[in-house]
Amino acid sequence: MIDHISLQVADLGRSCAFYEAVLEPLLLTKLVVRDGAVGFGKRYPEFWLNLRELSAATAPDHGAHVALRAPSDQAVRDFHAKALNAGAQDDGPPGIRQAAMTTYFGAFIRDLDGNRVEVMRFPCGNTPQTQVDQKRAD
């Protein structure tokens, strides 16, 4: 249903470097560079950064967030750790969460511009993959 998403950033170079590092565990790479925009994806740019130098900082209570799918629980953990090491704020550590219809493994960060980004893996619970990922984390 949704084709792509864009986040506003104040410093495109800084945000591009941040997202190049943190999107790696999600298997997303930089695919397109334009004047004022950078697109990330697997085969098609699905996640865009758009330069908005004069925009006000994102309010912490604006209510919107972007959720990206991860290939494993470990990828969620790696995204979260890389983001925090690169200057993001923790907005919810990796763990099992309840969604509307199922549980999932996810984490939240606030990026360098205050955008709320969630990384998640469905399904979660007592699946073989979750058990393997949990053993690796222990």
Tell me the whole-structure pTM to 2 decimals.
0.84
Label residue 22 by pLDDT band (50, 70, 90): very high
What is d(CA 2, CA 81) in angstroms, rounded to the nearest whole number?
A: 27
pLDDT at 126: 53
Label residue 131 by pLDDT band (50, 70, 90): very low
Beta bridge partners of 29: 41
Question: Exposed (0-12), middle (13-18) or buried (19+): which is 47, by Cβ within 10 Å?
Answer: buried
pLDDT at 103: 92
Give the type of residue at 111: D
Label residue 11 by pLDDT band (50, 70, 90): very high
Domains contained in the chain, CATH given: 5-52+65-137 (3.10.180.10)
Using DSSP's 3-state secondary structure scheme, residue 20 falls into helix
Helix 73-85 and helix 12-22, axial crossing angle in degrees, nearest 10 = 150
pLDDT at 134: 47
pLDDT tens digits, one per residue of 61-71: 776 789 999 99
Using DSSP's 3-state secondary structure scheme, residue 6 falls into strand
